[in-house]
């Protein structure tokens, strides 16, 4: 069954709001920590790692809890309604330059602010992601829904980048970032409320099998879900590589190419390009399958990363070209991952006899965010190893190291991700058979005499 455009747009708008926060932290928070409030790069990496460890716990707990929620608004929608304001306020808190002279106290306050923000983000994002499972069971329709969602997500990212870049051009970083966070927060609340009012869980897509309350049963059912485990491996590697790319853009342009404005423009282009390429990846997936789309996206991103690493011309345009190719390749995973994840839920349901929705969303989100934290920790360690010094002229060896961090390591992650996903077992045809088998199983359970 095809969804109406009101539902697609209503649901997709939620990712616009969430990406104001996601892209804001992904592109700017590490830089804010090191170059605005003056934290050492290794310390900033440790703070991100702590946040990732917290996510690994909180996302899983939220997924386990959310699918057991019962309210007049449904299972997942209440979290959009009641979580949007705490999320907005916590985002402002992480970009505030606290006037604290004691280094240890500053680290504690910054870490606590980040943990509060990540908790608030989890409170909204995990139920939001799980909500897509209740909107449609059709594999192709999930691809269309994910396409609309991700386009909105990148529009949110563009908004964040335009706001941040414009404010940085006019104001000092110490003033620009708090204003940026406040504007994003004010935009997000009404948009999440709009998403709440236009995304409705339908009875037809409500699971017929009860949620599993035993952690042991959850682990046992996951072990039988090869599709979920492979997707988990694939997205961990993509996230690791993509995070290193995103976090080093400004470092490359500021210290290697000497053009900060071009760096901000590149970040903007890396968010605009996916709006053009995501529909193409969606068409490719609908025509040839989601696995083929993933492999093609890996190859495209790999080419761009190797080009970025190998290019030593010092040309801003060449660097922008490399980042553009990378953005085009990475955009495939945005739509394919969120289209594939719901399919793995039915795949696991058929093989284990139990259905997990937000529990699996929470688990895979935990691993994804743990990968982000690992990338930040790795970045901090690598920047120290190559001799990086904030706000200083970098040596040729340090600049070569930056290219390796921004190009070669992410390229290796793309290769490993493609190898994992080459064994992904779900196709459109097999998913349709899975749905038929589930329907027959449920019918027999309801009418055992038949």
Instruction: Report which of residues 99 and 442 the model is more confident about.
Output: 99
> Is the pLDDT at 212 greater than 70, yes or no?
no
Q: What is the mean pLDDT of the segment spanning 253-258?
A: 88
Query: Measured between alpha carbons, how far apart are the two ends of the chain, in Å?
Result: 28
> Is the pLDDT at 359 greater than 70, yes or no?
yes
pLDDT band at 94 (very low <50, low <70, confident <90, very high): very high
Which of 18-32, 142-156, 170-184, 385-399 has the highest mean predicted lDDT (pLDDT)?
A: 170-184
Instruction: Report which of residues 334 and 206 the model is more confident about.
Output: 334
pLDDT value, residue 203: 46
pLDDT band at 375 (very low <50, low <70, confident <90, very high): confident
Query: Would you list the DSSP string of 260-281?
Result: HHHHHHHHHHHHHHHHHHHHHH
- Please name the residue ranges forming H helices in 25-76: 30-35, 41-66
For residue 437, the surrounding DSSP H or E stretch is helix 428-446
For residues 45 and 114, is the Cβ–Cβ distance under 8 A? Answer: no
pLDDT value, residue 147: 87
Percent of the chain at pLDDT > 90 equals: 41
- Please name the residue ranges forming H helices in 95-138: 103-135
pLDDT value, residue 222: 75
Task: Tell me, rounded to whole angstroms, the distance of Cα 220 from its chain centroid.
Answer: 26
pLDDT band at 204 (very low <50, low <70, confident <90, very high): very low
Q: Which of 28-32, 67-71, 181-185, 381-385 shows the lowest mean pLDDT across its residues?
A: 67-71
> Is the pLDDT at 424 greater than 60, yes or no?
yes
Extract the tokens encoding 261. 């404005």
In CATH, what number does 5-446 get?
A: 1.20.1250.20
Instruction: Report which of residues 371 and 117 the model is more confident about.
Output: 117
pLDDT band at 209 (very low <50, low <70, confident <90, very high): very low
pLDDT value, residue 207: 53
Q: What is the mean pLDDT of the segment spanning 24-39?
A: 88
pLDDT value, residue 323: 95
What value does the CA radius of gyration of the chain take, rounded to a whole number of Å? 22
pLDDT value, residue 379: 86
Measured from the Cβ of residue 258, the count of other Cβ atoms closer than 10 Å reads: 12
pLDDT value, residue 123: 93
> Is the pLDDT at 83 greater than 60, yes or no?
yes
For residues 348 and 228, is the Cβ–Cβ distance under 8 A? Answer: yes
pLDDT band at 211 (very low <50, low <70, confident <90, very high): low
Domain ranges (residues) in the chain: 5-446
Q: What is the mean pLDDT of the chain?
A: 87
Q: Write down the pTM of the prediction.
A: 0.75
Q: What is the mean pLDDT of the segment spanning 299-322?
A: 93
Q: How far apart are CA 241 and CA 336, in angstroms?
A: 17
Q: What is the mean pLDDT of the segment spanning 325-330?
A: 96
């Amino acid at each position: 069954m095809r969804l109406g455009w009101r539902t697609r747009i209503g649901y997709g708008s939620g990712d616009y709001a969430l990406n104001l926060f996601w892209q804001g932290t992904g592109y700017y928070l590490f830089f804010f920590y090191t170059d605005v409030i003056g934290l050492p790069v290794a310390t900033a990496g440790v703070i991100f790692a702590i946040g990732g460890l917290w996510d690994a716990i909180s996302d899983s707990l939220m997924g386990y809890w959310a699918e057991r929620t019962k309210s007049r608004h449904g299972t997942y929608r209440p979290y959009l309604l009641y979580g949007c304001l705490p999320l907005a306020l916590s985002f402002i808190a992480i970009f505030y330059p606290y006037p604290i002279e004691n280094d240890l106290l500053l680290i504690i306050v910054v870490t606590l602010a980040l943990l509060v923000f990540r908790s608030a983000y989890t409170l909204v994002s995990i139920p939001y992601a799980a909500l897509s499972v209740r909107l449609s069971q059709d594999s192709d329709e999930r691809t269309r829904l994910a396409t609309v969602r991700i386009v909105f997500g990148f529009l949110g990212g563009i908004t964040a980048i335009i706001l941040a870049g414009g404010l940085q051009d006019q104001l000092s970083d110490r003033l620009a970032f708090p204003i940026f966070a406040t504007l994003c927060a004010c935009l997000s609340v009404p948009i999440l409320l709009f998403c709440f009012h236009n995304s409705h869980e339908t009875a037809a897509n409500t699971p017929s099998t009860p949620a599993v309350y035993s952690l042991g049963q959850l682990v046992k059912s996951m072990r039988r879900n090869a599709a979920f485990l492979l997707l988990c491996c694939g997205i961990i590697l993509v996230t690791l590589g993509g995070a290193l790319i995103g976090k080093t853009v400004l470092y490359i342009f500021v210290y290697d190419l000497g053009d900060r404005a071009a760096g901000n423009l590149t970040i903007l282009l890396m968010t605009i390009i996916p709006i053009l390429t995501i529909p193409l990846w969606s068409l490719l997936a609908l025509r040839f399958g989601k696995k083929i789309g993933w492999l093609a996206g890996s190859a495209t991103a790999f080419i761009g990363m190797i080009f970025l690493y190998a290019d030593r011309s010092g040309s801003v345009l060449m660097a922008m070209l490399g980042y553009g190719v990378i953005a085009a390749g990475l955009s495939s995973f945005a739509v394919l991952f969120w289209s594939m994840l719901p399919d793995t839920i039915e795949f696991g349901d058929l093989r284990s006899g139990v259905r997990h929705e937000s529990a699996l969303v929470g688990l895979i989100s935990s691993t994804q965010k743990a990968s982000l934290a690992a990338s930040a920790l790795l970045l901090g360690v690598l920047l120290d190893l190559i001799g990086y010094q904030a706000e200083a002229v970098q040596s040729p060896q340090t600049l070569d190291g930056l290219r390796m961090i921004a190009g070669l390591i992410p390229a290796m992650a793309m290769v490993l991700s493609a190898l994992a996903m080459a064994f992904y077992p779900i196709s459109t045809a097999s998913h349709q058979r899975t749905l038929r088998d589930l329907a027959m199983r449920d019918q027999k359970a309801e009418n055992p005499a038949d």
